[in-house]
Chain A
Amino acid sequence: MRLVRDLGRRKLRSTLTITGIMIGIMALVVFGSMANKIDALVKGGSTYYKDKVTVSAKGGYMGVGGVLSTRMADQIAALDGVDVVVASTSMMLSDDASGVSMGVPPMIQGSVAGSDKGRETFKLDYASGRALTAQDEGSNVVVLGSDLSKQLKAKVGATVTLRDVSFQVVGILEPTLTAPDNEAMVPMAAAQQLFIKTLPTLVADKLSVNEIATGLIVYPKTGVDPQKIADAINAAVAGVTPMTGKDFDKQIGAATSVLNAILIGIGLISLLVGGLSVINTMAMSVAERTREIGIKRAIGASRWRIRREIVVESSVIGLIGGLLGLALGFLITTLGNDAGRDSATILFDLTFGTAFSSVAFATILGATAGFIPAWHASRLDPVAALRYE
Chain B
Amino acid sequence: MATILEGRNLRKTYRLSRKNTVEALKGVEISIDKGEMVAIMGPSGSGKSTLMHILGLLHAPDPNHGPAPELRLAGENVAALSDNARTKIRARRMGFVFQDFNLVPTLTALENVLLACDYAGIRGKAAKDAAVEALGLVGLADRGGHKPSELSGGEQQRVAIARALVNKPEIILADEPTGNLDSDRSAEVLALFRQFNREHGQTIILVTHDSEVGEACDRVIKMRDGRIRDAGQRAGTPVMATQAVAVPLGAGHSGFDPDAASV
Would you call A301 an interface residue if the criterion is a C-beta within 8 Å of the partner chain's C-beta atoms?
yes
A299 and B96 in contact, given A2-B107, A382-B58 (Cβ under 8 angstroms): yes
Whole-angstrom distance from the CB of A297 to the nearest CB of chain B? 7
Q: Mark A1-17, 1 if CB is under 8 A from B, else 0.
A: 01001100100000000
Q: Which residues of the partner chain B approach A292 to less than 8 Å between Cβ atoms?
A: 104-105
Would you call A127 an interface residue if the criterion is a C-beta within 8 Å of the partner chain's C-beta atoms?
no
Whether the Cβ atoms of A299 and B53 lie closer than 8 Å is no
Would you call A259 an interface residue if the criterion is a C-beta within 8 Å of the partner chain's C-beta atoms?
no
Would you call A308 an interface residue if the criterion is a C-beta within 8 Å of the partner chain's C-beta atoms?
no
Would you call B229 an interface residue if the criterion is a C-beta within 8 Å of the partner chain's C-beta atoms?
no
Q: Mark B69-112, 1 if CB is under 8 A from A, else 0.
A: 00000000000000110011011101110100011111100010
Q: Which residues of the partner chain A approach B58 to less than 8 Å between Cβ atoms?
A: 298, 382-383
A300 and B119 in contact, given A2-B107, A382-B58, A383-B58 (Cβ under 8 angstroms): yes
Whole-angstrom distance from the CB of B3 to the nearest CB of chain A? 23
Which of A6, A300, A305: most chain B CB closer than 10 A? A300
Q: Chain A binding site: helix, strand, loop or mixed by DSSP?
A: helix
Whether the Cβ atoms of B104 and A303 lie closer than 8 Å is no
Q: Which residues of the partner chain B approach A6 to less than 8 Å between Cβ atoms?
A: 106
Distance in angstroms between the alpha carbons of A198 and B224 in the assembled complex: 107
Would you call A295 an interface residue if the criterion is a C-beta within 8 Å of the partner chain's C-beta atoms?
yes
B residues whose Cβ falls under 8 Å from a Cβ of A: 53, 56, 58-59, 83-84, 87-88, 90-92, 94-96, 98, 102-107, 111, 115-116, 119-120, 163-164
A295's nearest neighbour on chain B, judged by CB, is: B102
Whether the Cβ atoms of B115 and A296 lie closer than 8 Å is yes
- Closest 3 pairs between A and B when the two form their complex, measured CB to CB: A300-B91, A300-B119, A295-B102
Whether the Cβ atoms of A303 and B84 lie closer than 8 Å is yes
- From A5, A291, A297, A386, give the contact of B87 (CB < 8 A): A297
Would you call A302 an interface residue if the criterion is a C-beta within 8 Å of the partner chain's C-beta atoms?
yes
Q: Which residues of the partner chain A approach B88 to less than 8 Å between Cβ atoms?
A: 300, 302
Whole-angstrom distance from the CB of A4 to the nearest CB of chain B? 10
A382's nearest neighbour on chain B, judged by CB, is: B58
Whole-angstrom distance from the CB of B180 to the nearest CB of chain A? 14
Distance in angstroms between the alpha carbons of A299 and B90 in the assembled complex: 6
Distance in angstroms between the alpha carbons of A383 and B14 in the assembled complex: 12
A299 and B83 in contact, given A6-B106, A9-B106, A386-B102 (Cβ under 8 angstroms): no
Q: Which residues of the partner chain B approach A5 to less than 8 Å between Cβ atoms?
A: 106
Q: Which residues of the partner chain A approach B84 to less than 8 Å between Cβ atoms?
A: 302-303
Whether the Cβ atoms of A299 and B119 lie closer than 8 Å is yes
Which of A291, A294, A299, A386: most chain B CB closer than 10 A? A299
18 residue pairs bridging A and B, Cβ less than 8 Å apart = A9-B106, A291-B102, A292-B104, A295-B102, A295-B103, A295-B104, A298-B58, A298-B102, A299-B95, A299-B115, A300-B116, A301-B119, A302-B88, A302-B119, A303-B87, A383-B59, A386-B98, A386-B102
A1's nearest neighbour on chain B, judged by CB, is: B111
Distance in angstroms between the alpha carbons of A375 and B91 in the assembled complex: 21
Whole-angstrom distance from the CB of A292 to the nearest CB of chain B? 5
Which of A2, A291, A305, A383: most chain B CB closer than 10 A? A383
Whether the Cβ atoms of A383 and B53 lie closer than 8 Å is yes
- From A299, A302, A305, give the contact of B163 (CB < 8 A): A299
Q: Which residues of the partner chain B approach A300 to less than 8 Å between Cβ atoms?
A: 87-88, 90-92, 94, 116, 119-120
B121's nearest neighbour on chain A, judged by CB, is: A300
Distance in angstroms between the alpha carbons of A298 and B95 in the assembled complex: 9
Distance in angstroms between the alpha carbons of A295 and B53 in the assembled complex: 13
Distance in angstroms between the alpha carbons of A297 and B83 in the assembled complex: 10
Whole-angstrom distance from the CB of B107 to the nearest CB of chain A? 7
Known: A302-B91, A303-B87. 13 other contacts (CB 8 A): A292-B105, A294-B102, A295-B98, A298-B90, A298-B96, A298-B102, A299-B90, A299-B95, A299-B116, A301-B115, A301-B119, A302-B119, A386-B102
Query: 8 Å CB contacts to B: which residues of A257-310?
Result: 291-292, 294-303, 305
Q: Which residues of the partner chain A approach B90 to less than 8 Å between Cβ atoms?
A: 298-300
A301's nearest neighbour on chain B, judged by CB, is: B119
Whether the Cβ atoms of A301 and B87 lie closer than 8 Å is yes
A305 and B119 in contact, given A299-B91, A383-B58, A386-B102 (Cβ under 8 angstroms): yes
Distance in angstroms between the alpha carbons of A299 and B95 in the assembled complex: 7
Whole-angstrom distance from the CB of B218 to the nearest CB of chain A? 25
Whole-angstrom distance from the CB of B44 to the nearest CB of chain A? 14
Distance in angstroms between the alpha carbons of A9 and B107 in the assembled complex: 12
- From B92, B98, B106, give the contact of A2 (CB < 8 A): B106
Distance in angstroms between the alpha carbons of A383 and B51 in the assembled complex: 12
Which of B88, B107, B119: most chain A CB closer than 10 A? B119
Whether the Cβ atoms of A296 and B104 lie closer than 8 Å is yes
Whether the Cβ atoms of A303 and B115 lie closer than 8 Å is no
Q: Which residues of the partner chain B approach A295 to less than 8 Å between Cβ atoms?
A: 98, 102-104
Q: Which residues of the partner chain A approach B53 to less than 8 Å between Cβ atoms?
A: 383
Distance in angstroms between the alpha carbons of A5 and B103 in the assembled complex: 16
Whole-angstrom distance from the CB of A14 to the nearest CB of chain B? 13
Q: Which residues of the partner chain B approach A305 to less than 8 Å between Cβ atoms?
A: 119
A389's nearest neighbour on chain B, judged by CB, is: B100
Q: Which residues of the partner chain B approach A294 to less than 8 Å between Cβ atoms?
A: 102
Q: Which residues of the partner chain B approach A382 to less than 8 Å between Cβ atoms?
A: 58
Whole-angstrom distance from the CB of A384 to the nearest CB of chain B? 10
Distance in angstroms between the alpha carbons of A302 and B57 in the assembled complex: 13
Distance in angstroms between the alpha carbons of A305 and B59 in the assembled complex: 19
Q: Which residues of the partner chain B approach A297 to less than 8 Å between Cβ atoms?
A: 87
Q: Which residues of the partner chain A approach B164 to less than 8 Å between Cβ atoms?
A: 299
Distance in angstroms between the alpha carbons of A128 and B107 in the assembled complex: 62
Whether the Cβ atoms of B163 and A303 lie closer than 8 Å is no
Distance in angstroms between the alpha carbons of A297 and B90 in the assembled complex: 9
Distance in angstroms between the alpha carbons of A267 and B104 in the assembled complex: 39
Distance in angstroms between the alpha carbons of A300 and B114 in the assembled complex: 12
